[in-house]
Structure 1
């Protein structure tokens, strides 16, 4: 073993001194003492936990709702387009159709009966009528109601092929309810109630609810759920409920929204069974499926292949008939097209395994927010100059935005983007204000 010479001792650190610390990204050095590091780590964890709790509290009291709606809509508009759904056919009652029929508003019972008979001759899987028929409209009322009852006869080869709509009363306004055509069982009707967010935009899909007391509408399922249920029944797929909050068609299961889910923190909004509405966009939202006019059907100008084995939806697109709703895409959409979007969403989930939009569980969301707030704190410590801190935080926020879009596009997960962005900024700001990092520990 080689002995050290006295002059060699100059190469060793003085006894009791700490080892030099590693440099930061900007060339400065952080104090490497264990006490300083431990103090900073504890502060970082405490601040990030406090910030995460504060952000979730703001969310609980709906103070972030408007920002979260906007962020969700923004991400929705960035998703890639999808091809139209070939399992649907939309029969649009246009203004030209109404004019040609002598200004029927929107169409008489006799015209509706003729339309149904013409469509049924081509054997559609099921027909949805997005028209109110609680009372007679023009001529043909008796014949129409008899025809609908015939189609509800379980011994008929056209059993349950036609699904009319009704509407439950809204709030404390019993007069706002609309009954279905008389004499039809609840399982042959579907409600057309809309779920509109506080900012007037439709982002949710109402599947089912218990009819309110004294409601003229006895339907428990929405029109879209009824159409899909009857469509899939023909291929041996039935609706099941593995749990109180879970639906199952075949091997496809999905959970309904809880009373507080994601950015929905107003339990009164989540009535019945609801899911997020995963719009299908092609050139526009209206291009969800093939469309023909009522005149085309009445004149037998529709190819049988467009009708046979499909879900057919009949409704009004005449702009003078008020039936428009706002969408996350910044445009308005006819109620008829909304029903088509909802039908397509369910069918695509079951038959094409297209994802449904969903929120994470609460504990995953708060863990995600906490993790990013810690990351923001580390960035603030690692980079010392104000300008570089701002740039690094901006890069971190852009990265989060890209990851959030990726989660939505690839897996249908709606990440808590706004709360996480806020947590990053708050965590960094608090740590800068406290001026606590390993370097601040006394020598």
Structure 2
């Protein structure tokens, strides 16, 4: 690998390391925050919001809700005596519903009232209705089920709201506090009876022996760290509740309409009928933000509808292949988060401007939102909030870091350029005159008045030129401009054609008072046009300084020179700038500062430099570079 490429490669590695370390630290902080549960509420909020944005689903016509509310004057009277419906009215309702052969009836009303008129009739109807499932309460305090029912006709109605008071999980089974037997939920009992008629029975899971399964459909069991949850109680068998989307999710009919025959009871045949209370005064509702709801209030859903959602998600998954909600294992979730964090680091490093980085981060964020949303529609809850945070924070914060690093490097480069130009000005001006004075002193062992006069003259010029450096630095801007300063009076525009600029440098330099210039009798010059589109301003300035330095060396060291040839031409895809003289020259074993600069210039241009003696005498100083750039560093 070439030295320049290797140097650039090491710089890139350093820059990546500088950006990657804070980026990885930020990802670590986000992951730690997630592990401590600090992001749980945000992840729940995003989860609910994505569920609300899902496309509207059709009504599940297999479920009918019978609402007991205050539309009936008799029901209002029952409310007044602290009972939603009398035992006699409930018995008559069950008889009327069962007459139209529903597949199963769910009674989502606690029935532990003392003996009252109609009690015996209700007990008789309950014992004769074999497709009925009534509710009990088991957690934390118990409420017994109605009497005379078999264990298969009893399901608990307990729900598990999260710490923010909103429901996202469905408890399907749990050990009983008072007995070693497992209790089943109302929704699971209803689904079990409904699917049994289709020959599908409830069994233990295959992949997870503690899960529940209907046929080939295994209900994914909730784990303590599922999705956005952190160390949550996963006792019993729980599943994430995949609410049915849309405003109208189930068919509903009021008790008053059934009693007054305002409903086509034939629609009840072979359906799941769930009876429940839908009155705000009874406060039988659950808070959720996963679905739209206006009854009993925005963000609240009646308990009987929650039971319908829990039943619907099971039978829809078994019969319609509607997805149940799954989550990844912890390792895949954190690899997902780290992957988006690395994307944020890469976008910050690879973009050249804050606006470009903003566009890339915006596109990546939209992609993340789309992927998370579509995944939830397909049944997968993947981490969104932590992935979004590491993407945005790394993308934006590290952009500022990289931009600052870039500005710092540009400042260092500009400062170095000023130093180089200042040295070139001193080297090609005062130092050249100083070298001439030193040569005069060395050549003359005995000082004569004429020599002293000449030395005094040269030292005076040197004094003026050194004092002129301050003026030069005052005119030089702190950044790269389009001017080239020669001496204290000549300013060249580097935007002019390069061959014209080189000719002006050639003319100016040969007018300087160097001893060897006085013996030149033949001057040959050729400056062909040069395509400067692939040259930077600094590279054009350096080419001019190269020509000036090479000519100054001829004026100082080419003793006895009579012929000078300066040629700038193109051949076979290369430009060549050469200076040839027939003087004696100077043989030196050490490489001066000027020669080092020429070699650096050749490396920048991906070209070649050489300075060689000619036979029988003379020196060739030559710089060549390719017409076009074929490198990418």
Q: Please give the range of the TM-score, normalised by the shorter of the 2 chains.
A: 0.7 to 0.9
Partner residue of 2:358? Answer: 390
Unaligned runs of 5+ in 2: 292-297, 414-633
1 or 2 for the larger relative contact order (CA 8 Å, sep ≥6)? 1
Count matched residues.
398
Q: CA deviation at 1:237?
A: 0.2
- 1:371-386 map, 5 Å: 371-386=339-354
Greater mean alpha carbon deviation, residues 387-396 or residues 220-229:
387-396
Q: Deviation per CA, 1:125-175, whole angstroms, max 9, x where unpaired?
A: 100001111233642222322332334xxxxxx4xx1000011132xxxxx
Partner residue of 2:132? Answer: 162
Partner of 2:58: helix, strand, or coil? coil
Q: 1:146 aligns with which of 124, 128, 134?
A: 124
Q: Deviation per CA, 1:193-249, whole angstroms, max 9, x where unpaired?
A: 11111111111111111122379xx77111111100110011110011123343211
> Does the CA contact (< 8 Å) of 1:128 and 1:223 recur in 2?
yes
> Does the CA contact (< 8 Å) of 1:39 and 1:438 recur in 2?
no
Name the CA distance, whole Å, in 2 between partners of 1:185 and 1:32: 82
Partner of 1:309: helix, strand, or coil? coil
Greater mean alpha carbon deviation, residues 349-358 or residues 241-250:
241-250
Which one has the bigger helix percentage? 2
Partner residue of 2:228? Answer: 263
Unaligned runs of 5+ in 1: 1-14, 20-30, 152-157, 171-175
Partner residue of 1:9? Answer: none
> Does the CA contact (< 8 Å) of 1:167 and 1:193 recur in 2?
yes
Name the CA distance, whole Å, in 2 between partners of 1:426 and 1:245: 41
Partner of 1:103: helix, strand, or coil? helix
Name the CA distance, whole Å, in 1 between partners of 2:211 and 2:18: 42
TM-score normalised by L of structure 1:
0.82
Partner residue of 1:108? Answer: 86
- Whichever of the two has the greater Rg, that structure is 2
Greater mean alpha carbon deviation, residues 297-306 or residues 246-255:
297-306
- 1:40-439 map, 5 Å: 50-97=25-72, 99=74, 102-103=77-78, 105-136=83-114, 138-151=116-129, 158=130, 161-170=131-140, 176-213=141-178, 220-242=183-205, 243-268=208-233, 270-282=234-246, 284=247, 287-328=248-289, 329=291, 331-409=299-377, 411-428=378-395, 431=398, 435=402
Q: CA deviation at 1:267?
A: 2.3
> Does the CA contact (< 8 Å) of 1:166 and 1:189 recur in 2?
yes
Name the CA distance, whole Å, in 1 between partners of 2:103 and 2:19: 60
> Does the CA contact (< 8 Å) of 2:195 and 2:201 recur in 1?
yes
- After superposition, the Cα gap between the structure-2 partners of 1:275 and 1:52, relative to the gap in structure 1 and judged at 3 Å, is farther
TM-score normalised by L of structure 2:
0.58
Partner of 1:95: helix, strand, or coil? coil
Q: CA deviation at 1:121?
A: 1.0
Q: CA deviation at 1:266?
A: 3.3
Name the CA distance, whole Å, in 1 between partners of 2:260 and 2:400: 75
- After superposition, the Cα gap between the structure-2 partners of 1:385 and 1:179, relative to the gap in structure 1 and judged at 3 Å, is same
Name the CA distance, whole Å, in 1 between partners of 2:400 and 2:102: 68
- After superposition, the Cα gap between the structure-2 partners of 1:85 and 1:45, relative to the gap in structure 1 and judged at 3 Å, is same
